[in-house]
Chains A and B, each alone.
Chain A
């Protein structure tokens, strides 16, 4: 009788692991199921369960693989996982060690997306140098989207609020479904063909990957690349990237943001206008102030150079001359007066009156009419009987000429 073999837990677990790992189909398999119990460790590893209606399978995706996920798996997502089966010995659990994870049913779309993206990128369609700047003040904003969509309302709302000066040209198109891509291309071309269009918005609201799929069309990508006018895309939500986004000159996370990027904000513009007006006032005030200062300086210079100074100087010299002349005159008068006084004294000395004092007398012949006549100097001037006037020191007295002498 054979002794039954007794395993230790480790031995058995090791053996199971070995068996599983040696079974080639388990080492390279695709597993489809619904994602549940999804947790992401702080280290970045993903732990989840793939299940269907009757069974569940533990899955691990190490950070090294999880970091390259092109989508964010959610609870309840149907997913397609690739990896190998092994055992987690500590819990005696067999698990799928996942190295690739795709949304189930979209795996094909994803592969096509990545292939097209890589191809167009290799062609250089996404290069930053290709991106054209948008005009700062677009007069005409072309919008290619569905006229019924909320995206259009959002865009018009933003444009109306920010920059009502713009004119909107709507090119209506389907934005989802198989018929959409050629329509979007036609709408884009219709806008691009117009010379008055300044910038083109290509927008669509949020949706599933399939609903946004029209924007991953190669013909659309090439139409965007070929457009004459800059194209801004706003497709889906923040996390959604489409091929159109990569080719566009500007990619906005949402339609509203696309509209914001397309036009300036009138509140900001009003502020800028007010700032310029303030600068104008400041500039003029400065110029006036400078002019005033210049004027003051010139006035002072003028005062320094003014003939008024010379006139004042001349006037002073005239005054001085007059003054000197007056002084000279006074002096001369004094001299004259002195001379006059001297002459008077001499005159006095010579006066006959002084002689009379010494005892001499002056004799005048009285005329027949009684008037005093000539001074008698010689005898023959008189005859007997003539009346004479004799002047002595203290007066006169009459006399008569006597007989013959």
Chain B
């Protein structure tokens, strides 16, 4: 895992939150009229968010869980192997 240069709050951001913020940042920066320092800070934030998005996708693994359903399908007795390659 590399955590270099990323703010701690970024690490906890979900993909969709990071992505939405990224879109907002892009819009803000493209709107112009920002003091240069703010623009640079926004740019840095945006690039960090883009990095977070890629990282979230890279690290993602589909989790499969089962919910209990009223009505007795326990007798199905299936076994769900999450690691099994899809066939």
Chain A residues engaging chain B, CB cutoff 8 angstroms: 136-137, 139, 142, 146-148, 153-154, 156-157, 159-160, 163-174, 182-183, 186-187, 189-191, 194, 266, 269-270, 272-274, 276-277, 279-281, 283-284, 286-288, 290-291
Contact = CB atoms under 8 A, between A and B. Distances in A.
Contacts of A280: 25-26, 29, 43, 46-47, 50
Contact of B68 (A164, A182, A190, A286): A190
B66 interface: yes
Contacts of A148: 76, 78
Interface string B32-50: 1010100110010011001
Given A269-B15, A277-B50, 19 more contacts: A137-B15, A148-B76, A148-B78, A153-B87, A165-B14, A166-B62, A167-B64, A168-B62, A168-B65, A169-B67, A170-B65, A171-B69, A174-B73, A187-B69, A187-B73, A266-B57, A276-B26, A280-B46, A290-B32
Contacts of B50: 273-274, 276-277, 280
Contacts of B1: none
17 contacts: A139-B16, A147-B66, A164-B57, A168-B63, A169-B65, A170-B67, A172-B69, A172-B76, A189-B70, A273-B54, A276-B22, A276-B46, A277-B47, A280-B47, A283-B29, A284-B40, A287-B32
Contacts of B10: none
Please classify how large the interface on chain B is, using the bins under 10, 10 to 19, 20 to 34, 35 or more: 35 or more
B67 A269 contact: no
Nearest to A149: B78
Interface string B74-87: 00101010000011
B15 A165 contact: yes
A159 B73 contact: no
B30 A283 contact: yes
Given A165-B60, A273-B53, A280-B50, A153 B86 contact: yes
Contacts of B53: 269-270, 273
Given A147-B78, A280-B43, A164 B23 contact: no
A160 B40 CA distance: 36
Contacts of B61: 164
Given A157-B86, A170-B67, A186-B71, A164 B80 contact: no
B73 A173 contact: yes
Nearest to B18: A273
A21 to B, nearest CB: 57
Given A187-B69, A190-B70, A170 B46 contact: no
Among A146, A168, A273, A286, max chain B CB count under 10 A is at A273
Interface of B: 14-16, 19, 22-23, 25-26, 29-30, 32, 34, 36, 39-40, 43, 46-47, 50, 53-54, 56-57, 60-71, 73, 76, 78, 80, 86-87
Contacts of B19: 137, 269, 272-273
Contacts of A142: 67
B62 A160 contact: yes
Given A166-B62, A266-B57, A270-B57, A287 B67 contact: no
B87 A273 contact: no
A166 B70 CA distance: 24
A295 to B, nearest CB: 10
Nearest to A168: B64
A190 B69 CA distance: 6
A160 B85 CA distance: 10
Nearest to A291: B36
Given A147-B78, A167-B65, A182 B36 contact: no
Given A183-B71, A284-B40, A169 B66 contact: yes
Contacts of B14: 139, 165
Contact of A191 (B26, B39, B67): B67
Contact of A279 (B30, B40, B70, B80): B30
Contacts of B87: 153
Nearest to A138: B16
Contacts of A157: 86
A171 B67 contact: yes
A173 to B, nearest CB: 6
A172 B78 CA distance: 9
Q: Which 9 interchain pairs have the tightest Cβ spacing?
A: A157-B86, A147-B78, A137-B16, A164-B60, A283-B29, A186-B71, A277-B50, A284-B43, A280-B46
